[in-house]
Structure 1
Amino acid sequence: MTTDLNAGRSPLDLESPHSIPVTATATPGGEAPDVDTGPLAYARAQLSDAIAVLDLDQGVYSMLANPRREMTVSIPLRRDNGDVEVLTGHRVQHNVSRGPGKGGLRYSKDVTLDEVRALAMWMTWKCALVDVPYGGAKGGVRFDPKRYSREEVQRVTRRYTSEIIPIIGPTQDIPAPDIGTDEQVMAWMMDTYSASQGYTVLGVTTGKPLALGGSLGRPTATSLGVAHVALAALSHLRRRPTATAAAVQGFGKVGRGAARYLWEAGVKVVAVSDEYGAIFNAGGLSVPDLEAYVAISGTVLGFDDSEDLNDRDALLYLEVDLLIPAAVEGVLHGENADRVHASLIVEGANGPTTPAADEIFRANGQLVVPDILANAGGVIVSYFEWVQANQAYWWSQTDVENRLRERMERAWHRVLEYAATHRVSLRLAATVLAVDTVTTAHLTRGLYP
């Protein structure tokens, strides 16, 4: 079926090109990848579709389907009670053809090497799509920081950093905050790396405190970018923010700020969730009041003027216009996508939608703004922070936010134009543009003999 973009609809109902089969390609870590499910399989399937559109060969697919470099380390930790525990950490550099690796560090009990590989690949595409001169990287330590004291988290951070020092640095790989980490963790990483070099190296991490070379506007950059793209997509669909009801899954680093910016733009935020549950108010939630409540209570549950939903995931299926999944990957999949009513889905999280769900959304005419576009605000302002640190000259918040808006809007229009011209989904358009950019750089450099 043909879609008329001029009528404000998206090309979601068109068939994807035939993919290169996602086979059990050998990986540098020696592990057999999960070829059926999981974030790495989803990332490789998206790459495969882009390779087919670009008419590239299997060799290019194999190069881009596997990380350039990865390191797995043991992290011995002395607990506050004297016990010793050994944690496992990873750092993966997917591709560095366009510049140093760039990507977050997450602390979570669910961290796996394949997850980190997938996230690093998505970072490669994200940086290329928004024209940031980085490659993709990602890191993770498998533990729940909420179950550890702040001093124990510091010891984990410093030992992990010391173990991966050979492969990080301001011209090699630049970590940033992600799930379970924050600006203090980045400060500890920067200090540990600097101590090993004998001088202060502000550019080794981004997302740092302002006192240590952080950038104004960095803590809210991802959220603001999500809001910019969501509002642009609403305009494309000819919908007014004040006539839009939204649900936000996840009220952490990304979801909280995105909900606030949308609320400030007039969007009616009717539901939000966190790891403990979800709340709903058909008339709309006061997001600033909710932020103040969460700062005290630690959860959205029990907020005045709202009802607690019995099932946290029920938020995904509400009768809303806009859904922002801003928690973790894989929450929208083949088993639940048909229950999602939102006509616009803007991915605040990395990889929240599986390929099976994408097909369902396309068939149902629902517009999905992909993660590598929607949540790219964080890496854009991380780049700004890195530039400022290298120049030892810091910009105003207005400068940062204006430059962020310009980059996000430029990327949005570029992806939208490609999707309309080639009659493909926004995700495929974004991935094709990014893969083409990276492949051109990779092949221009040539293969080292």
Structure 2
Amino acid sequence: MQAFEAANHYFDQAARLLDLSDNIRTLLITPDREVRVEVVIEMDSGRLGNFLGYRVQHDNSRGPFKGGLRYHPAVDDDEARGLASLMTWKTAVVDVPFGGAKGGVNCDPTILSKGELERLTRRFTQKIHDVIGPVKDIPAPDMGTDAQVMAWIMNEYSKYSGFNPAVVTGKPVELHGSIGRESATGFGVALAVREMLGRTKRTVGGSTVAVQGFGNVGSHAARFLAKDGARIVAVADAHGGIQNPDGIDVEALASHVASTRKVGGFEGARPCSNEDVLLSDVDVLIPAALGGVFDKATAEAVRARMIVEGANGPTWPEADDVFNARGIPVVPDILANAGGVIVSYFEWVQNLQNFRWPLEQVRREQEQKMVDAFHDIFDISERMKLPMRTAAFYRAIARVGRAHALAGI
């Protein structure tokens, strides 16, 4: 099953409860626009580099298209289509006035020089500048991209449309970014863990946590949870994993990763495989890396008491069925990792106002949004006896469908 098919499978589970007509279902799942461009740059060696770039704009009934840009070898039109769809439902779940989009460039950013990355970014921006903008489509960082990439996009876009910092979010704070944006997704995941534990009469303090992926999302989630007293007992990245049943010093691990670029070799834990981390016997498992890590076999072997999805699309539908059958609650990606788009919304608002909020306000507003959305979805789940994923899609589809109906299809 591919990414877009999986997203539509989850859509259909909730749509059946809303008794949508076939025409409305087609309207809501069909992307509004799909762009594919060739991005040609001169490499440092003097040869030409040919890359494919994508931007899929799924739905803008509730506001401008919004979603990340990935630089990764797995980027293709189907992945962008599936993730753009998830962004539509994510923005609706947490009730921010955006639609959904996604895209990126098929490349391996780890083997590109900084100069090559800049040329690639500027050329890609030149190719899509007419379909993005502060009231059209607002990209943000995603896997393989960061604040520097957003700064290049903003600068290149300004050559066509003048000073418009709101064209992208996730920019450096020094270049009109928002304080708290870099850690926002991880903070949101930690909030989801806290609220889910609370609804099951437990606390973060004393809980055991395994984190698969120690990039921006996983590292910040681990930091916030450790600060609140959780014991982070296993961490993995693309190169392997580490375990320590007594708890891993997250700040020391972050320093180690900053210098070595991998969790392996950290002296405060023993090495293990990535699979060992996914199968850890813990209270909370956080998949925070690539999508599609849980298939049916892996789901049957998982020993965690709950799963909070930091990554986009980490669970294939057949695995989701296993988790539901086993009674393992899953806080879905369109809720759990929505902290990034919430603070992206705050950054966009600040840019439009030409005004900056302090960190305390950003965190307070983000926490309120996340907590309200979490309890709304949890209560729907309890009242209708649905998995939280189906409840989240149910809420999102109802909001998007209502926006279409009110505006006039």
Q: Which residue is equivalent to 1:14?
A: none
**Could you tell me whether the CA contact under 8 Å between 2:193 and 2:204 is conserved in 1?**
no
Given the alignment, which residue of 34, 39, 63 partners 1:99? Answer: 63
1:64 is displaced (CA, Å) by 1.7
Match of 1:28 in 2: none
User: Are 1:180 and 2:144 counterparts?
Assistant: yes
Shift of 1:355: 1.1
* CA–CA distance in structure 2, aligned partners of residues 377 and 171 of structure 1: 21
User: Within 5 A, what are the aligned runs for 1:66-85?
Assistant: 66-85=30-49
Q: Deviations over 1:49-78 (max 9, x none)?
A: 111010111111111222011100000011
Q: 2: distance between equivalents of 1:210 and 1:241?
A: 30
How far apart in 2 are the matches of 1:248 and 1:411?
Answer: 23
Q: Shift of the alpha carbon at 1:191? A: 0.5
- The aligned counterpart of 1:210 is 173
Whether 1:45 aligns to 2:9 is yes
Matched-pair contact (CA < 8 Å) for 2:209–2:231: yes
Q: 2:336 is matched by which residue type in structure 1?
A: A
Name stretches of at least 5 consecutive residues in structure 2 with no aligned partner: none
% identical aligned pairs: 46
2:240 and 2:274 in contact (8 A); partners too: yes
Q: 1:164 aligns with which of 128, 137, 141?
A: 128
Q: Secondary structure at the match of 2:297?
A: coil
Does 1:269 pair with 2:195? no
Which residue in the other structure is 1:351 paired with? Answer: 313
Instruction: Give the corresponding residue for 1:295.
Output: 258
The residue number in structure 1 matching 2:283 is: 321
Q: Distance in 2 between matches of 1:404 and 1:241?
A: 19
What one-letter code is carried by the residue in structure 2 that aligns with 1:180? G
**Offset at 1:85?**
1.6
Matched, 1:136 2:100: yes
Q: Deviations over 1:316-337 (max 9, x none)?
A: 1111110000001110111210
Could you tell me which residue of structure 2 aligns to residue 429 of structure 1?
A: 391
Shift of 1:269: 0.3
d(CA) in 2 for partners of 1:145, 1:107: 6
1:246 aligns with 2:199: no
Amino acid at match of 2:97: P
**C-alpha separation between the residues in 2 aligned to 1:429 and 1:58?**
21
CA distance in 1: counterparts of 2:399 and 2:203, whole angstroms: 34
Report the counterpart of residue 155 of structure 1 in structure 2. Answer: 119
Rounded to whole Å, the distance in 2 between the matches of 1:49 and 1:60 is 15
Amino acid paired to 1:330 = G
Instruction: Supply the distance in 2 between the matched residues of 1:222 and 1:115 (Cα, whole angstroms).
Output: 20
Q: Secondary structure of the equivalent of 2:319?
A: helix
Counterpart check, 1:117 vs 2:81 = yes
Q: Secondary structure in 1 aligned to 2:197?
A: helix
Q: Do 2:307 and 2:329's aligned partners in 1 also have CA atoms closer than 8 Å? A: yes
Question: Does the CA contact (< 8 Å) of 1:51 and 1:57 recur in 2?
Answer: no
Moved over 6 A (4+): none
Cα deviations across residues 408-439 of structure 1 (Å, max 9, x unaligned)?
A: 00000100111111110100000000011001
Could you tell me which residue of structure 2 aligns to residue 339 of structure 1? 301
Counterpart for residue 375 of structure 1: 337
Q: Which residue of 2 aligns with 1:237?
A: 200
Matched, 1:362 2:324: yes
The answer for the alignment partner of 1:416 in structure 2 is: 378
Deviation of 1:354 (Å): 1.1
2:129 is aligned with what amino acid?
Answer: I
How big is each residue's C-alpha offset from its partner over 1:65-111, in whole Å with a ceiling of 9 and x where there is no partner?
22011100000011001000210000010001111000000000011
TM-score normalised to structure 1 length: 0.90
Q: How many angstroms apart in 2 are the aligned matches of 1:414 and 1:401? A: 20
Amino acid at match of 1:371: D
Amino acid at match of 1:325: P
Aligned to 1:260: 223
- After alignment, is 240-249 or 47-56 more displaced? 240-249
Q: Which amino acid aligns with 1:251?
A: F
- The answer for unaligned runs of 5 or more in structure 1 is 1-36
1:390 to 326, 330, 352: 352
User: 1:58 maps to which residue?
Assistant: 22
Cα distance, 1:141 vs. partner?
0.4
> Would the aligned equivalents of 1:47 and 1:61 in 2 still touch at CA under 8 Å?
no
- In the TM superposition, residue 446 of structure 1 has moved relative to its aligned partner by 2.2
What SS is found at the alignment partner of 1:174? strand
For 1:13-28, list aligned pairs within 5 A.
none
